[in-house]
Amino acid sequence: MSEVVLRGIRKSFGNIEILHGIDLDIKDGEFVVFVGPSGCGKSTLLRAIAGLEDITSGELFIGGKHCNDIPPSKRGVAMVFQSYALYPHMTVAENMAFGLKLAGMDKHQMKEAVDRAAKILRIEPLMERKPKELSGGQRQRVAIGRAIVRKPEVFLFDEPLSNLDAALRVQMRIEITKLHRDLSSTMIYVTHDQVEAMTLADRIVVLSYGNVEQVGSPLELYHHPRNLFVAGFIGSPKMNFIEGKLVAASDESATVQLADGSMIVTAVDAREGVPGAKVTVGIRPEHWAFDTSGNTLSGEVIAVEHLGEATMLYLQAQGALEPLVVRADATHDAKVGEKISVHLPPGRCYLFNEAGAAFRRVKTE
Amino acid sequence: MAVVLDKSHRWRVVLAHIAIIGFICLIMFPFLMIFSISIRPGNFATGSFIPQTISLEHWALAFGFSYQGADGALLEPQFPVLLWLWNSVKVASLSALILVVLSTTCAYAFARMKFLFKNYMLNGLLLLQMFPSVLALVAIYTIFDRIGNYVPWLGIESHGGLILAYTGGIAVYIWLIKGYFETVPVEIEEAAKVDGATAFQAFRYVLLPIIVPILMVVFLLAFIGAINEYPVASILLKSTDNLTLAVGVKNYLYPQKYLWGDFAAAAILSGLPITVVFLFAQKWMISGLTTGGVKG
């Protein structure tokens, strides 16, 4: 059990700096997810914590121990790789026992530990097989098993589910959550999939271009994204953004004039906003309403998707950079080419200034 | 596998077989010729391909027995053929072994580590290897003569010297193994390192078992190369008892007297160790050892 502390971690490959000073405190037993688009440095950060990449500058502490110059084998971490990285010439049992064998554990204890892990992951019937005789999901279980037999202080997961199909991914996600509950060790998990991040994490770290954009619990990020990037990244389908001009601002609401002239009221603390400044209104696809008048926006339906439990409407509206996505009831009968009005509940709206920083929302209905 | 086949498929198969058999006959012909010479009485290079009478005189002499000819004359073995064969096997096995050990470790460094001038070194290795060693024979002789002054067992007239000379041909094998290393995903070694392995343990327990096939190929190539090598061995070794088979058998052919039959028997004998090593190595030269380690 131990906490992981990062202080101003920087990493460069040659002249190119990938991580620009990451500060982070990961508490003992916490499940932290690094999330971000590809190329944001999340895997590099994880590899730096594992010791597979040296740290250019900054300090890394694992369990209070300064770890910058400690080789991966002595950091007390276990890692699950995206590609599984099993030892192809060893059986499942040998794969899992490898770390214990290196640590010089006696045979009896080793077998016990391996069997216990196999039981947790339900791979007991596979123990004598070679990795090539396993399916993708089974391989991933073995890779996780190899990590848990060693009882590491910190687990590192590098996109472990990205090679699995959708159904298996959901199942493994639940198992990883269960694993975390049972083992209660510190886990750091890297993914580009924000659904995984939302479902697994105690806290999410959103990264972009080697910087931490925001750290917080999944719901905190969902309701109070600090900026446009986080707002757009968390939530699926992604948040709609509509550009406009701030016309009135107070401590509990802001009025924005959109490109088509309509006035939208948003419930945010906009005291720092200057009337006349360019702002961006954000609203999630699931938060639009239909039956209320006022605070509406109209657009032309350009596509309709019937998902069964809901209907997704795509609207072309003035001021919106991309078609607006609206999640409506399954029974909604809009047709392509029709012009409809949708209502923005003020409490559901987000507002960002020209630099992309969010105004604080005063209520989240 | 019941794939639907074209009508002409059968004829194409027959034609392919005829072509293959013809080709095999073509490459087997010199061998059969030599074999025929070795079991014909007398020492003639020419004669009928299928011998009228079979005589084991050349084989007896090659194995070191004396032979009572049909005319009553007793033929004594002139040269220690079996000793030469042993010399060849000894030099070839040791040099192949050393080559495998050195080229594996070198290739690992080139494939996995970062260091200054790596690419120049790699290209340099290849460039140097392009010049045939025959061009450097005089230099090789002088070098080993000088080495022998200080370390006699590495000088002229020593098998140690010859092994050292053969080990110099390492560059090709480094390239070969490096190429194979690069097909092994780095994550597998990284997993081992996170699992608590030192760099050497990761190499020894994880990487090495995966690359056995290429090591066998390298051993075999180096072994065959050393068994067949003539120019360097012929200048480094002089006394009869020290010669390798490839150099030794040349003694059967001197201008006054070409002992074709004896030469042929000894020549076939030199193929024997290669065959044995090949049969042994074949078991290990299986592909697909890395399958399943990472997502394909």
Q: For the purposes of burial, counting CB atoms within 10 Å of the CB of A28, is it exposed (0-12), middle (13-18) or buried (19 or more)?
A: middle
Burial B59-94 (b: 16+ CB within 10 A, else e): bbbbeeeebeeeeeeeeebebebebbbebbbebbbb
Structure confidence at residue A365 (pLDDT): 55
Residue A222 and residue A260 in one domain:
no
Pairwise CB contact (< 8 Å): B293 & A79:
no
Candidate from B188, B197, B291 with C-beta closest to A73:
B197
What Å distances lie between residue A365 and A238, A239, A329, A346, B93, CA to CA? 19, 17, 19, 9, 81
Could you tell me if A58 and A6 are in contact, meaning their C-beta atoms sit under 8 angstroms apart?
yes
Residues of A in contact with B112 (CB under 8 A): none
Where does residue A246 fall: left (phi above 0), alpha (psi -120 to 50 degrees), or beta otherwise?
beta
- Taking 70 as the pLDDT cut, the residues of chain B under it are 1, 286-296
**DSSP string over A271-316:** TT--TT-EEEEEE-GGG-BSS--SSEEEEEEEEEEE-SSEEEEEEE
Could you tell me if B149 and B81 are in contact, meaning their C-beta atoms sit under 8 angstroms apart?
no
Query: Of A60, A11, A68, nearest to A207 (Cα)?
Result: A11
For residue A3, the Cα-to-chain-centroid distance in whole angstroms is: 20
What residue in B sits closest to A87 (Cα-Cα)? B293
Q: Residue A202, Cβ neighbours under 10 Å: how many?
A: 15
Residue A227 and residue A250 in one domain:
no
Domain boundary, last residue among A214, A231, A248: A231
Structure confidence at residue A271 (pLDDT): 87
Residue A83 and residue A189 in one domain:
yes
A168: domain CATH number is 3.40.50.300
Residues of A in contact with B188 (CB under 8 A): 85-88
Pairwise CB contact (< 8 Å): B198 & A71:
yes
What Å distances lie between residue B102 and A69, A106, B5, B213, CA to CA? 30, 34, 50, 16
Q: Which two tokens stand for residue A46?
A: 């994880």
Q: Scanning the structure block, which residue is given the tokens 């040659």?
A: A14
- Inter-chain CB pairs, A–B, below 8 Å: 93
The edge-to-edge listing of strands for the beta sheet with A263-266 is A263-266, A254-258, A240-249, A278-283, A350-352
What residue in A sits closest to B190 (Cα-Cα)? A52
Pairwise CB contact (< 8 Å): B198 & A50:
no
Pairwise CB contact (< 8 Å): A146 & B185:
no
Element (H, E) at A60: strand A57-62
B290 and chain A in contact, CB less than 8 A: yes
- Can you name the residues that pair with A155 across neighbouring β-strands? A78, A187
Pairwise CB contact (< 8 Å): B194 & A72:
yes
Residue A101 and residue A123 in one domain:
yes
Q: Tens-of-pLDDT digits for all 365 residues of chain A?
A: 588 999 999 999 988 999 999 999 999 999 999 999 888 999 999 999 999 999 999 999 998 899 999 998 888 899 999 888 999 999 999 999 999 999 888 999 999 999 988 988 888 899 999 998 898 888 988 999 999 898 888 999 999 988 888 888 888 888 899 889 988 889 999 998 888 999 999 999 999 999 999 999 999 999 999 999 999 999 888 999 999 999 988 888 899 998 888 888 999 988 888 888 999 999 999 999 887 778 888 889 999 999 989 999 999 988 787 899 999 988 888 889 999 889 999 888 999 999 999 999 887 65
Q: Residue A248, Cβ neighbours under 10 Å: how many?
A: 14
Tell me the C-alpha distance between A86 and A84, whole Å: 6
Where does residue A172 fall: left (phi above 0), alpha (psi -120 to 50 degrees), or beta otherwise?
alpha
Residue A249 and residue A300 in one domain:
yes
**Residue A227 in 3-state DSSP?**
strand
Pairwise CB contact (< 8 Å): A89 & B289:
yes
What Å distances lie between residue A258 and A110, A345, A355, B85, B120, CA to CA? 67, 15, 18, 94, 62
Tell me the C-alpha distance between A202 and A196, whole Å: 12
Smallest CA–CA distance, residue A13 to chain B, in Å, is 13
What residue in B sits closest to A137 (Cα-Cα)? B295
Q: Residue A317, Cβ neighbours under 10 Å: how many?
A: 18
Tell me the C-alpha distance between A206 and A197, whole Å: 10
Residue A291 and residue A197 in one domain:
no
Tell me the C-alpha distance between B243 and B249, whole Å: 9
Give chain A's contact residues with B (Cβ, < 8 Å).
50-52, 71-74, 77-79, 81-89, 98-99, 102-103, 130-134, 136, 139, 146, 150, 156, 163
Tell me the C-alpha distance between B191 and A196, whole Å: 23
**Residue A21 in 3-state DSSP?**
strand
Pairwise CB contact (< 8 Å): B190 & A81:
yes
Helices (H), B3-136: 9-38, 57-62, 81-112, 118-129
Task: Say which amino acid occupies A109.
Answer: Q
Residue A252 and residue A190 in one domain:
no
The residue range of the domain holding A265 is: 239-361
Domain boundary, last residue among A231, A247, A274: A231
Q: How many independent structural domains does chain A possess?
A: 2
What pLDDT digit, counting tens, does each position of A70-80 carry? 998 888 899 99
What residue in A sits closest to B198 (Cα-Cα)? A73
A284: domain CATH number is 2.40.50.100
Structure confidence at residue B46 (pLDDT): 78
What Å distances lie between residue A237 and A59, A324, A327, B108, CA to CA? 37, 11, 9, 47
What residue in A sits closest to B295 (Cα-Cα)? A83
Domain boundary, last residue among A186, A203, A231: A231
Residue A85 and residue A175 in one domain:
yes
Radius of gyration, CA atoms only, chain A: 24
**Residue A67 in 3-state DSSP?**
coil
Smallest CA–CA distance, residue A309 to chain B, in Å, is 35
Element (H, E) at A122: none
What Å distances lie between residue A256 and A187, A245, A299, CA to CA? 43, 5, 17
Tell me the C-alpha distance between B54 and B36, whole Å: 9
What residue in B sits closest to A79 (Cα-Cα)? B194
Q: Scanning the structure block, which residue is given the tokens 């920087």?
A: A10
Tell me the C-alpha distance between A354 and A268, whole Å: 15
Structure ipTM: 0.81
B296 and chain A in contact, CB less than 8 A: no
What residue in B sits closest to A149 (Cα-Cα)? B195
Candidate from A79, A85, A88 with C-beta closest to B210:
A88
Candidate from A102, A133, A163 with C-beta closest to B196:
A102
What pLDDT digit, counting tens, does each position of B192-243 carry? 999 989 888 998 999 998 888 889 889 999 999 999 999 999 999 988 889 9
- Cα dihedral sign, B120-B123-B126-B127: negative
Residue A125 and residue A224 in one domain:
yes
Tell me the C-alpha distance between A64 and A1, whole Å: 11
Residue A247 and residue A217 in one domain:
no
Chain B segment 188-227 residues within 8 A of A by beta carbon are 188, 190-198, 201, 205-206, 209-210
Residue A243 and residue A201 in one domain:
no
Residue A337 and residue A214 in one domain:
no
The residue of B112, B187, B195, B212 whose CB has the most chain A CBs within 10 angstroms, and thus the best one to mutate to test that interface, is: B195
The edge-to-edge listing of strands for the beta sheet with A310-316 is A324-329, A310-316, A296-306, A339-343
Structure confidence at residue B279 (pLDDT): 87
Pairing of strands A263-266, A296-306: unpaired
Pairwise CB contact (< 8 Å): B289 & A88:
yes
- Cα dihedral sign, B63-B68-B71-B74: positive
Could you tell me if A112 and A106 are in contact, meaning their C-beta atoms sit under 8 angstroms apart?
no
What residue in B sits closest to A135 (Cα-Cα)? B292
Tell me the C-alpha distance between A312 and A303, whole Å: 8
Smallest CA–CA distance, residue A143 to chain B, in Å, is 10
Residues of A in contact with B210 (CB under 8 A): 88-89
Structure confidence at residue A1 (pLDDT): 57
For residue B151, the Cα-to-chain-centroid distance in whole angstroms is: 27
Structure confidence at residue A50 (pLDDT): 93
Residue A154 C-beta-side C-alpha neighbours within 13 Å: 29
Q: Please give the DSSP secondary-structure letter assigned to residue A238.
A: P
- Can you name the residues that pair with A257 across neighbouring β-strands? A245, A263
